[in-house]
Amino acid sequence: MIPLQIDHLSVRYGETVALDDVCLTVGAGEIVALVGPSGSGKSTLAAAAMDLLPVEAIEQGVVRIDGADIRTLPEKQLEALRGGRVGIVFQEPATAINPALTIGKQIGEVLELHSDLSRAEIAAEVNRLLGEVGLSLPANRYPHTLSGGQRQRVAIAMAIAARPPLLLADEPTASLDPVAQAEIGGLLQALVRGRGMGLLLVTHDLGLARRIADRIVALDHGRLSEQQPIEPDTAPRKPREGGEPLLVMDHVTRIYPLKRGHVVALSDLSLSLGCGETLAVIGASGSGKSTLARLALGLDRPDAGRIALGSQDWATAHGAGLRAMRRRVQAVFQDPAASFDPRQTVARIVAEPLHLLGRIARAERDARVAEALGQVGLAPDAADRLPQAFSGGQRQRIAIARALILKPELILFDEALSALDPALREEIIALLLRLQAELGLTYLFIAHDMDLVRRMADRVLVLREGRAIACGPVAQVFDRPDDPYLAALLASAE
Amino acid sequence: MKRAGPILLGLIVALALLSLVWTPFDVTTIDVAHRLQSASIRHWLGTDQLGRDLLSMLMAGARPSLGVAALALMVGVAGGVPLGLLAAARPGWIDELVARCTDILFAFPAILLALLVIAVLGPGASHAALAIGLFNIPVFARVTRASARGVWTRDFILAARLAAKGPGLISFEHVLPNIAGPLITQAGLQLSLGVLAETALSFLGLGAQPPAASWGRMVADAQTLVGVAPSLVLLPGLAIVVTVTAINLTGEVLRTRVAPETGL
């Protein structure tokens, strides 16, 4: 039996064509990666495979799961199909798992619904499944005591519990840190091979697709193509020498007090970033990257050590001096949806840093906003709209315009490209490189993505548990990792 | 259907305002000869035990109910919202202090403390508004603090801090507009609770004082006559129910208009 067979499937919503004559087969033991930009129809295809399309969708074609045409099945059997014959793994394990139930109870629930095992048999099977997904945890643990990677393993155990012939994974690694991403990728691959399941992997992470998939199919405007998607330009950039030091951190330590004890977020960290240079800071979640960002931006104070912009120190600056320092550094944040006040127009958002200049005339403000929008390739009429009216890529352009409006020297990017799909990311990378060349900007990248680091950064700093474990030119650090953790981090990206 | 609430509330407010300048009969004039009449062309809803026109009484009675509730709401918003914003902007001992003070105020039964306030200040509509308003303060402080804390964790607050905006300006420019939804919902709720609280105080004789008409006292005065003239109790009761319903519906419409994204 073929786990998934889609024949000439077309789906329309009114006049909009979501899928156009799509044929796709996922064989037993095969991993097919489905890639494509946002809005290309990936989610529609996944929903169609489970007959979960909204009622207004107009559907043509045949979807067979394990040989059965799902549209001829009565609702009762469809329910058995979802979770029974199709296992599903979602992007965000935190929302897929019920926080009020132990992990064993949740995995057991799937077995209760889709098998006729006795209680004792279910308990034994739950423990076996936990082992199979690589969790050596007791079944009575609650989800909130687990890490993101561990939770995703629980979600996978739930998905495979009923021994489905087909597994559907929707961005299963997108919310995880690089090491956990690599582990989950490897786990999915091992499970598919071991159990002879078919896996349809919906993702926009080409790296993951290349690593574990047998075939990659690309969706674009509802049309499917078997050929390899466009290779991003991965040529590493030539490292350049930075000019005068712009950002200097000197033996910086930051400790956060907790109710009981404390946590050392950064420990004795030193770095120097020259004018016109790009430094990338990488590390798993919790390694101190965000603390470093807040300190560099002067939003937080170190417990020990010194942080300076040029000759000015964040700790001693106040009044007009502090405002002058703030003008030199701006930031672009990770989530384009959260980094704008949803009640303000683009003009007000982009103009926000102008507050540092004191009162300025409306005409000058508007001219500056138009100039900044122009620099990032947005039309001036974008100014009057709300940020919600823009796509993810355009929103990130708005965020960059806000960072540019004061003509700062240093811009910090906090995971600023990780929410974008590959095509948009290429556009934004090109934009950032052009702006750097034109305006002589210095970039500090907080990043997850090794590929991005190779292409954008001159030097890289690797953080682990608040300490720098490697620092130097990208090629030198990446090609000869002398630390096992760094080697694992890099292997996860290969 | 969606318009019903605002239209109804508008009508009630209009009648209350009209009663300031004109009512079919003077509500302060007693006409014992025509007491307890049933509905007629002359008296549309009949007369009460002292011969006063019931329609005129209902119109004039809307004034203290709506006025006291609105005044109490203003006291609550003016006191509670800044406190909540302050607590959210300054985590630490200020936040703790505000949270504990609201907890303490919540620990007292509202009506008892209102009675205490009135016992000290003396009865009257404005004192009733103050007593009810005092209870709106912790309610608004709590709702504001909880919603504002959520807004403070968003990235756009970091962007504002990078522009060297202080906590006050950020609270006013970014936080307040983004918590308008829950605040409007709460305002609608507190306004209708205010109407109920005012009628309760009037019923006990602690609200608007005679000869001013009020729905609560109309019910109280007529309670011994329920068997003889039930409309004397039912009509002011109905007025209270309709007003509270109209306020709740209006609050809902206003919220979806002002803050559609924070759907309940």
The per-residue pLDDT for range A377-387, each reduced to its tens digit, is: 888 888 999 88
Is B161 in the A-facing interface, judged by CB distances under 8 Å? Answer: yes
In whole angstroms, give the CA distance from residue B173 to residue B27. Answer: 48
The greatest distance separating any two alpha carbons of chain A, rounded to the nearest whole angstrom, comes to 76
Under the banding of pLDDT at 50, 70 and 90, the label for residue A204 is confident
For the beta carbon of residue A430, count every other beta carbon within 10 angstroms.
11
Half-sphere exposure at residue B118, Cβ-oriented, CA atoms within 13 angstroms: 25
- Are A474 and A460 in contact by the 8 Å Cβ rule? The answer is yes
Cα–Cα distances (Å) from A35 to A171, A211, B171, in that order, read 10, 13, 42
Q: What is the pLDDT of residue A230?
A: 47
Write out pLDDT tens, residues B248-261: 999 888 888 877 65
Under the banding of pLDDT at 50, 70 and 90, the label for residue A228 is low
Rank A38-42, A268-272, A338-342 by mean pLDDT and report only the highest.
A268-272
pLDDT (mean) for B103-125: 85
Start-to-end CA span in chain A (Å): 34
Ordered by start, the domain boundaries in chain A are 4-225, 245-491
Test mutation, A290, A344, A352, chain B, max B CBs within 10 A:
A352
Q: What are phi and psi of A422, to 5 degrees?
A: -55, -40
Q: Do B178 and A343 touch (CB under 8 A)?
A: yes
- Are A459 and A247 in contact by the 8 Å Cβ rule? The answer is no
Under the banding of pLDDT at 50, 70 and 90, the label for residue A442 is very high
Contacts of B133 (CB under 8 A, 6+ apart): B71, B72, B73, B74, B75, B76, B79
Q: Tokens 């500090």 label which residue?
A: A444
The token pair at B35 is 């007491």
In whole angstroms, give the CA distance from residue A273 to residue B80. Answer: 47
Is A335 in the B-facing interface, judged by CB distances under 8 Å? Answer: yes
Cβ-Cβ contacts under 8 Å between A and B: the total is 54
The token pair at B230 is 């039930």
A125 pLDDT more than 60: yes
A46 pLDDT more than 90: no
Coil, strand or helix: which one is A65?
strand
Give A-chain residues touching B147 at CB under 8 angstroms: none
Write out pLDDT tens, residues B35-73: 777 777 877 788 888 878 888 889 988 998 899 999 999
Is B160 in the A-facing interface, judged by CB distances under 8 Å? Answer: yes
Domain A245-491: top CATH class:
alpha beta
The pairing of beta strand A329-332 with beta strand A312-313: unpaired
Q: Tokens 């007693």 label which residue?
A: B30
For the beta carbon of residue A320, count every other beta carbon within 10 angstroms.
8
Closest residue on chain A to B169 (Cα): A355
A35-49, A269-283, A454-468, B217-231, range with the lowest pLDDT:
A35-49
The token pair at B244 is 């509270």
- Are B187 and B73 in contact by the 8 Å Cβ rule? The answer is yes
Regarding predicted confidence, which is higher, A128 or A484?
A128
Nearest CA among A158, A2, A159 for reference residue A65: A2
Q: Tokens 């999915």 label which residue?
A: A188
Is B33 in the A-facing interface, judged by CB distances under 8 Å? Answer: no
Q: What is the pLDDT of residue A83?
A: 63
In whole angstroms, give the CA distance from residue B242 to residue B250. Answer: 12
Q: Do B165 and A355 touch (CB under 8 A)?
A: yes
A444 pLDDT more than 90: yes
- Are A143 and A103 in contact by the 8 Å Cβ rule? The answer is yes
The token pair at B6 is 């605002």
A321-325, A421-425, B235-239, range with the lowest pLDDT:
A421-425
Domain residues for the domain of B193 are: 4-17+50-258
In whole angstroms, give the CA distance from residue B197 to residue B65. Answer: 9
In whole angstroms, give the CA distance from residue B81 to residue B141. Answer: 5
Q: What is the pLDDT of residue A74?
A: 76
Question: Would B174 be classed as within a structural domain?
Answer: yes
Q: Which of B155, B164, B178 sits opposite A335 (nearest CB)?
A: B155
Question: Would B241 be classed as within a structural domain?
Answer: yes
In whole angstroms, give the CA distance from residue B72 to residue B167. Answer: 28
DSSP string, B49-110: TTS-BHHHHHHHHHHHHHHHHHHHHHHHHHHHHHHHHHHHHSTTHHHHHHHHHHHHHHHS-H
pLDDT (mean) for A97-124: 86
Q: Which of B156, B161, B165 sits opposite A340 (nearest CB)?
A: B156
Q: What percent of chain A has pLDDT over 90?
A: 20
Q: Do A341 and B156 touch (CB under 8 A)?
A: yes
Write out pLDDT tens, residues A309-352: 988 898 888 888 888 899 999 999 887 778 899 889 999 999 99
Q: What are phi and psi of B48, to 5 degrees?
A: -95, -170
Q: What is the pLDDT of residue B89?
A: 92
In whole angstroms, give the CA distance from residue A157 to residue A132. Answer: 8
Nearest CA among A245, A251, A246, A268 for reference residue A306: A251
The token pair at B142 is 């709590």
Question: Would B28 be classed as within a structural domain?
Answer: no
Nearest CA among B163, B167, B133 for reference residue B148: B167
Q: Which of B159, B165, B177 sits opposite A343 (nearest CB)?
A: B177
Q: Do B162 and A354 touch (CB under 8 A)?
A: no
In whole angstroms, give the CA distance from residue A422 to residue A145. Answer: 33
Q: What is the mean pLDDT of chain B?
A: 87
Regarding predicted confidence, which is higher, A57 or B200?
B200
Is the peptide bond prior to B211 cis by the omega test (within 30 degrees of 0)? yes
Q: What percent of chain B has pLDDT over 90?
A: 39
Is B178 in the A-facing interface, judged by CB distances under 8 Å? Answer: yes
Q: What is the pLDDT of residue B263?
A: 39
Q: Does domain A4-225 have CATH number 3.20.20.70?
A: no
B264 pLDDT more than 60: no
Chain A, 351 to 410: residues with Cβ < 8 Å from chain B are 352-356, 402
Q: Do A338 and B161 touch (CB under 8 A)?
A: no
Start-to-end CA span in chain B (Å): 19
Write out pLDDT tens, residues B109-118: 878 888 888 8
Closest residue on chain B to A400 (Cα): B159
The three-point CA angle B68-B69-B71 to 5° equals 65
The token pair at B13 is 């407010």
Separation in Å, CA of A42 to nearest CA in chain B: 26
Separation in Å, CA of A406 to nearest CA in chain B: 10
Task: Tell me how many domains chain B contains.
Answer: 1
Question: Would B23 be classed as within a structural domain?
Answer: no
Coil, strand or helix: which one is B124?
coil
Q: Do B177 and A330 touch (CB under 8 A)?
A: no
Q: What are phi and psi of A473, to 5 degrees?
A: -55, 145
Is A342 in the B-facing interface, judged by CB distances under 8 Å? Answer: yes
Q: Quick one: CA dihedral A315, A319, A323, A328, positive or negative?
A: negative
Task: Please give the ipTM for the structure prediction.
Answer: 0.75
Write out pLDDT tens, residues A212-221: 888 888 888 7
The token pair at A453 is 């680091």
Q: What is the pLDDT of residue A229?
A: 47
Give B-chain residues touching A322 at CB under 8 angstroms: 164
Q: Do B174 and A326 touch (CB under 8 A)?
A: no
Q: What is the mean pLDDT of chain A?
A: 84
